[in-house]
Each structure stands twice: as C-alpha cells, then as structure tokens.
Amino acid sequence: MSLDTQIRMTKGRGHLYNSILETIGDTPTVRINNLGPSHVTLYVKVEAFNPGASVKDRLAIGIIEAAERSGALKPGQTVVEASSGNTGIGLAMVCAQKGYPLVVTMADSFSIERRKLMRIFGAKVVLTPRAEKGFGMYRKAAELAEANGWFLASQFETPANAAIHEATTAREIVADFAGSRLDAFVTGYGTGGTFAGVSAHLRRERPDTRIILTEPANAQLLGSGGRQERKDGGAPAASHTAFEPHPIQGWTPDFIPQVLQTALTNNSYDELLPVTGADAIAWTLKLASKEGILTGISGGGTFAVAVKVAETAPQGSVILCMLPDTGERYMTTPLFESIADEMNGEELALSQSTPCAQFAAE
C-alpha cells in the first residue's frame, strides 16, 4: 500500500459530528477515467455519499428546518409527503433524528427496497395504486394532511426545495471548479429542485456553463410542449398528457412540479435531451463495472446524456453530471435483471478448480 493510499484511508472527514444530519452535503466530485470520449474530461457528483444515500437528503433537511423556522411545523407534529422513494427515505432519516412521526404515500410500482428503507427509519408507508401514478400518491398525501392536521412537506411546490440546492449543492460545485473551466452541467429532474437551485447559482456565478436538462424519452413532459394544468398555488390539477410509465424511478412524475416550472421561467436551460430507459440502465451498469461507481437508473440516464454531450463538445471541455443516488435501492427493478443470483459456468469452474469447499456440477 502506498503512502498516498494510507493517507487517503486514514484522513477521515475532519471532525466529530453532533448528529447524522450534519453529514448531509459536501459530496465528492469524481473524475471519470474509463468511460466517455478522450478529448473531454467528465466528472460526476456522487450524491450517494449523503447519509441516506441520495441527493434528497438535502431536500429533506431543507424542508423540515425551513418549516421549523417559520413555525409551520410544530414539535411532535406528524409529517406527510408523497414520494417515489428517495425523498421519503431522506425525510424518514431526518424525522427519526428530530422526533417527528412520518407518513409517506407511494405508488406500489416503486421498488420494495424503498418501502423497507423508510419503514426501518420508523416511517409509515401508505401505498397507492400504480394505475393512479404519481398524481394518485400526491393527492393521497394532501388528503391525509387535511384530514389529520399533519404537516404536508410539499416537495413539489415549496421554495425550500430549490433554496437548499442553491445554498449547498450549487456552492459545492462552484467551489470544486474554482479556477478551472466547467463547460456543461447535466442533470435530470424529479421535483426540479436540483436543477432549479444549481441553475440559478450557476447563471450568476458561472454564466459560461451550459445547463443541460434531461428527461425520459417516452415521457417528455417538457419536450412535448404540453401545458400542465394547475390549481391555485401551483399544485397539479391532473396528470400531464405526455406522461407514460418509464423505468427511471425518481425522475419525471406524471406532472410538471411547480418548483421546476418556476425554474424554467427564471433560469431555464440551454438544451433539453431525452434518454431512453434502456440507455439509462446500460450506462448505470457501465459506471459500476468500468468505474466502480454504483448509482441508480437516474444516474445512469444523466450520465448517458453527459456522454452524448461530450461526444460533440470542443477539445478540452469539462462536463459535470449529477448522480442522484445509489444503485442498492434498485435490486428489484430492471437494473438488476441481468445480474445473476447463482454461479455461472465460469464461476462454477473456478469453484471446482481446487479441492476444498466446492459445489458439484448440476
């Protein structure tokens, strides 16, 4: 082991923390060495380093602490929110530490691992029929809040969503690339909070950086140009007509969130590029096997678009891609369908190549 390696392994994170919540943010920006064209430099921001293993930890603490400051959330009050998983997991972690009961509504189409992760943190998970899509779980959360006097986290509308990314994620990016070029920033969207907060900050601090937004090819809510029906206050009134089910969990619910809509009006993007579910899964697998980076399908989708941007980028360009979460919460999704449980022929041959602790050929 080299001295440099020993130093890296023993350095730690610098100090003691008063709670797990203090470890949210300051995620690493990592260079890609084996994938992508050689004439550009690709980086990924690995949000799986958050304690709840996703970018939504930032959103969760941002919403809860903003509500505490405003008085909208009372001590011991139940929090309720609709989530495809990562926001729910983040809220479950934050609420466990702060002592708030949590109820999450989630369509039953999302991965079982997500339900279990929320429940192990102490949250209750109320499933809604997949046929009613994201809009169904959204309405159920609002209905439960009204019926019980609970605090509705409102991740799709609250200004606290974009604000936490502008205050943390965006500033980390600017600091990481201080004194060096950053030609493009690539992200997808769920609520739109990451895009909203980072794009607002980059427009001010790094106006030379192109902002690339991506969405599923078969659910192009923005690319379709279709209008989102809304109620007073910005809540969606119905599913978007361009939505179709897609495998990129956490991306593109069946409506355009108000957080995203506000960002499109104020900051917008330079280019919108769709990605197929198949490409998202393929690049997720490549990131794991070629770079040792385990991300979810949304990370693979974002990276697929980053590679596409890189292919036509000028010599020496530097591109940053968001990786929102870890791949471990996708075990029961199409991402792991090609990953075997049992030994294949080559593995069995290795087992039988020496005499001890081996299985017989079937």
Token pair 């119905």 is found at: 238
Q: Which CA distances in Å does 108 have to 16, 256, 347?
A: 39, 21, 36
CA gap 43, 176 in Å, rounded: 11
Best CA proximity match to 339, nearest among 276, 294, 277, 307: 294
Active-site residue set: 56, 298
| Amino acid occupying residue 127 | L
Q: What b/e string do you get for 1-33 counting C-beta neighbours within 10 Å, with b at 16 or more?
A: eeeeeeeeeeeeeeeeeeeebeebbebeebebe
Phi, psi at residue 166, to the nearest 5°? Answer: -70, -35
CA gap 120, 259 in Å, rounded: 29
Query: What CA dihedral angle connects 311, 304, 52 and 79, to 10 degrees?
Result: 120
CA gap 78, 61 in Å, rounded: 15
